[in-house]
A and B are shown apart, each in its own frame.
Chain A
């Protein structure tokens, strides 16, 4: 059961000091600004994304918990690669991010996940 794509919420976090470099990443095709150097997880949270994924077991809504790569809750699809840890991936200009709905669908092209995340 996919999470409503455009459930825009009031962000839980806001950016105190964006810094000079801003890049544009796309969350479910929506362009969002992000400070260069920030993690994808941080960028999404600041933008107002509350739910990052639905679990493969019960489609429960989940979001980042540890922000350091040990909880695996912040899994999103980045540039077509499923189950990337958003907190361990830095934003890049033009990056395409989508929620991870349930278990991963393997892309049929032979791309290595390491190229993106």
Chain B
């Protein structure tokens, strides 16, 4: 247990956290960075330091570029506490973490939470069956263990990551049995409204179309405007079913990779009792912060995707800007210099964010894949609570996610609501015919990461 007060403690070693650390160190701050993984990089740059030439080739330029950041971090003089699972952050800026079975803590003058994003849940019939995984999960398998699907694989859903994975699989020689896209005409129309403000968006749209052509050229069956996705199988996944223009399609497969975007990892910000607001654009809860990313004026900041999905490059910029904001408070004498530094970054960041509304609109997940119409679909995977049961709770007077815990054990399992929270909010909102913002979210409490009673008790 450390009694020292560190200038800046950063949680998370993804683009935002690493960039914040490098920037803070360049400004003379003492930095301690805590991360769950053994090496830096977060999810997006996972394993980039030890990636083989083949992996770098398959994963592409954007991934490889992450090595520059991890390298800069390695040499910047920050303390890197790897394998640290942060299980609590208090408003007095104490961080409690578990490392190799030891329950440790550190106190900070400032904290930056950079816990990134996770894949949005995809609650459809059969989604809990073995053989159903996230596209991001499959990407992690490759980054971590060079593992590739051994049989023709089905990819389904929407979002840039889905198409990225498809490209990477093609590069790796994986056979894609089918790519089932859920983007509908109405999504293109909605997105078109934002394309004007995002010239870059046209570029991405073209990139997506080019990729679809590339897939088809490789003989991959590409289905567009798919609806009503569900997984066939009883003990394990056996195939994907969907409709397209009224016709039912079934594609047999033991491995189905689903993806419909990523959402901020808000467990720590929620546990700090920070206010969160429902974003209808991103269909998730976003922490309320000031312009610097600070919560409630308590010296705790949020940077990167966990503040709102902005992507890797923008996350890095946000990390840098947040470090500068912290430095401004620690070195008020350097205010002018820091303001100038920040102004340049602010402009750059603004440019990167132009495309977000376009992407959010284009890849908006379908309502039927967020609020399951079928009662039997499991919403809370840990406690096996279905959409129908949730709707019944609402009929019996349940007003929001916290009360579901009294009606049934929804949200009380080990994942602490990570995989069901957003769905529960929307299912209840839908059943009550009120906006999700009015329904609220689970009250998140420590421990944010699993810790045993023995570890808590100490030696």
Query: In the complex, A touching B, CB below 8 Å?
Result: yes
- In the complex with contacts A12-B254, A72-B382, A62-B145 CB distance below 8 A: no
Most A Cβ at <10 Å: residue of B100, B128, B172: B128
Interface residue? A115 (CB, 8 A): yes
Give CA–CA (A25, B102) in the complex, Å.
Answer: 25
CB distance from A78 to the nearest CB of B (A): 13
B118 touching A66 by the CB < 8 A rule?
yes
B149 touching A13 by the CB < 8 A rule?
yes
Residue numbers in A under 8 Å from B133 (CB-CB)? 63-67
For A, the interface residue count at a CB cutoff of 8 angstroms equals 49
B55 touching A112 by the CB < 8 A rule?
no
Residue numbers in B under 8 Å from A101 (CB-CB)? none
For B, the interface residue count at a CB cutoff of 8 angstroms equals 54
Q: Which residue of A lies closest to B142 (CB)?
A: A16
Q: State which of B50, B148, B450, B454 has its C-beta within 8 Å of the C-beta of A14.
A: B148
Give CA–CA (A30, B198) in the complex, Å.
Answer: 55
Residue numbers in A under 8 Å from B140 (CB-CB)? 67-68, 87
**Which secondary structure dominates where chain A touches chain B?**
loop
Within 8 A of A (CB), among B135-159: 136-138, 140-142, 144-151
Residue numbers in A under 8 Å from B136 (CB-CB)? 66-68
A72 touching B415 by the CB < 8 A rule?
yes
Residue numbers in A under 8 Å from B368 (CB-CB)? none
B145 touching A35 by the CB < 8 A rule?
yes
On B, residues with C-beta under 8 Å from A are 36, 38, 43, 50, 52, 54-55, 98-102, 118-119, 128-134, 136-138, 140-142, 144-151, 172, 235-236, 254-255, 265, 381-384, 413-415, 418-419, 450, 452, 454-455
Can you pick out 22 interface pairs between chain A and chain B where the beta carbons lie within 8 Å of each other? A10-B151, A12-B131, A12-B255, A13-B148, A17-B52, A39-B145, A46-B145, A55-B384, A63-B130, A63-B131, A64-B137, A65-B134, A67-B136, A67-B144, A68-B43, A68-B118, A70-B415, A70-B418, A70-B419, A71-B381, A85-B450, A113-B454
Other A-B pairs beyond A12-B149, A112-B101, 18, CB < 8 Å: A10-B254, A13-B141, A13-B255, A15-B146, A16-B146, A17-B55, A39-B145, A50-B254, A61-B235, A63-B130, A65-B134, A68-B43, A71-B419, A72-B414, A73-B381, A83-B414, A113-B452, A114-B102
